[in-house]
């Protein structure tokens, strides 16, 4: 059995320590991947945008044909209760989840009335602030809204991300830029992506092929409020090869510079540093 960091899960009306077994072989989610989740963070005494994450997991549930059984305010209250079970200085990952237990009128359809909910919270240290990552181009593509439920944060989407990440790491890179079916850069395998060229910040336009991340949206707003020129636009991989800076945004690390793309080294630049400063200031101003 895999070792886990300290973990508490709220399920069926109470908190359970560790990694409880929740799905059996007849559970629809076990064999048909009818599950959704979201991810928030507790770090340095704050849970930035926890309400937005709670609302999004409910939207994801509905998009996958599940029933959102827990109101966002209740999810937020549970999260605040759960973090008190940990050391105050712990960095935590907060993961609300829905999944289907029973089959619907066809075995490949879930029965929304069998939807279950849990909230899992566990220790997950934040990556060090000066760390950077290397990226390359993935041979795999992001699906379109016509081919997969890309309007949700669904478990069924992540095996594609995982194979792209596995392939990149087999070639010595930390991550990969993944394109959509038209060949435009969508995201990395684990985060949204930004680049800077001649003082202009650019990020792929949200076109339904990738998750328009909560941290991405927050970062866009913070950078624009700071007065930086920021464009959401279609970009090719070659645009990133010529970038002055590249950095990522996502819930797990919040923001991180890209320090190598293929065989080209990059330095963490002033915009990436400013993005981190702005986000940390916002996080510390948010309600704990």
**CA 15 to CA 85: how far, in whole Å?**
10
pLDDT of residue 207: 95
pLDDT at 87 over 90: yes
Categorize the per-residue pLDDT at 21 as very low, low, confident or very high, splitting at 50, 70 and 90. very high
CATH number, span 133-285 = 3.20.10.10
Strand partners, 118: 11, 97
User: What is the CB neighbour count within 10 angstroms for residue 146?
Assistant: 8
Each residue of 33-84: pLDDT tens digit?
A: 999 999 999 999 999 999 999 999 999 999 999 999 999 999 999 999 999 9
pLDDT of residue 187: 98
- Note the residue count of the chain: 288
Q: For the chain, what are the domain ranges?
A: 7-123, 133-285
Report how far apart the first and last C-alpha atoms of the chain are (Å, whole number).
34
Categorize the per-residue pLDDT at 3 as very low, low, confident or very high, splitting at 50, 70 and 90. confident
Angle at 188 (CA atoms; ends 76, 247), nearest 5 degrees: 85
pLDDT at 129 over 80: no
Q: What average pLDDT does the segment 8-19 reach?
A: 97
Q: Percent of the chain scored above 70 by pLDDT?
A: 99
Categorize the per-residue pLDDT at 130 as very low, low, confident or very high, splitting at 50, 70 and 90. confident
CB 204 within 8 A of CB 235: yes
pLDDT of residue 91: 97
Categorize the per-residue pLDDT at 286 as very low, low, confident or very high, splitting at 50, 70 and 90. confident
User: What is the CB neighbour count within 10 angstroms for residue 194?
Assistant: 25
Each residue of 145-172: pLDDT tens digit?
A: 999 999 999 999 999 999 999 999 999 9
User: Rounded to the nearest 10 degrees, how much is the dihedral formed by the CA atoms of 103, 107, 110, 115?
Assistant: 30
Each residue of 198-243: pLDDT tens digit?
A: 999 999 999 999 999 999 999 999 999 999 999 999 999 999 999 9
Q: Are strands 40-42 and 14-17 parallel, antiparallel or unpaired?
A: unpaired
pTM of the model: 0.95
The set of residues, in sequence order, having a beta carbon less than 8 Å from that of 2 and lying 6+ positions away, is: none
The rounded mean pLDDT for the chain is 96
Q: Are strands 254-261 and 133-141 parallel, antiparallel or unpaired?
A: parallel
Residue matched to tokens 């109470």:
14
CB 223 within 8 A of CB 169: no
pLDDT at 1 over 60: no
Q: What average pLDDT does the segment 108-131 reach?
A: 93
CB 258 within 8 A of CB 247: yes
Structure tokens at 195: 């680049």
User: Rounded to the nearest 10 degrees, how much is the dihedral formed by the CA atoms of 5, 126, 57, 48?
Assistant: 130
pLDDT of residue 2: 66
Q: What are phi and psi of 175, to 5 degrees?
A: -155, 180
Q: Among 3.40.50.300, 3.30.470.10, 1.20.58.220, 3.30.565.10, name the CATH number for the domain at 7-123.
A: 3.30.470.10
């Amino acid at each position: 059995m895999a070792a886990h960091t300290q973990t508490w899960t709220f399920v069926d009306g109470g908190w359970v320590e560790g990694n409880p077994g929740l799905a059996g072989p007849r559970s629809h989610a076990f064999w048909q991947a009818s599950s959704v989740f979201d991810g928030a963070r507790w770090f340095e005494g704050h849970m930035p945008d926890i309400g937005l994450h709670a609302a999004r997991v409910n939207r994801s549930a509905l998009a996958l044909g599940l029933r959102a059984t827990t109101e966002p305010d209740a999810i937020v209250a549970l999260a605040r209760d759960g973090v008190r079970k940990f050391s105050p200085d712990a960095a935590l990952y907060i993961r609300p989840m829905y999944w289907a237990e029973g089959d619907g009128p066809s075995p490949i359809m879930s029965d929304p009335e069998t939807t279950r909910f849990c909230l899992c919270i566990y220790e997950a240290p934040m990556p060090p602030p000066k760390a950077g990552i290397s990226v390359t181009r993935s041979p795999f593509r992001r699906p379109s809204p016509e081919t997969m439920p890309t309007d949700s944060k669904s478990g069924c989407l992540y095996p594609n991300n995982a194979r792209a990440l596995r392939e990149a790491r087999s070639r010595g890179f930390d991550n990969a830029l993944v394109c959509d079916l038209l060949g435009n850069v969508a995201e990395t395998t684990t985060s949204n992506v930004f680049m800077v060229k001649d003082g202009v910040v650019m990020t792929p336009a949200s076109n339904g092929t990738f998750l328009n991340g909560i941290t991405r949206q927050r970062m866009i707003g913070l950078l624009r409020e700071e007065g930086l020129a920021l464009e959401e636009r279609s970009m090719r991989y070659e645009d990133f090869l010529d970038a002055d800076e590249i950095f990522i945004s996502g819930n797990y690390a919040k923001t991180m510079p890209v320090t190598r793309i293929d065989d080209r080294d990059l330095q963490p630049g002033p915009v990436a540093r400013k993005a981190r400063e702005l986000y940390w200031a916002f996080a510390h101003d948010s309600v704990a």
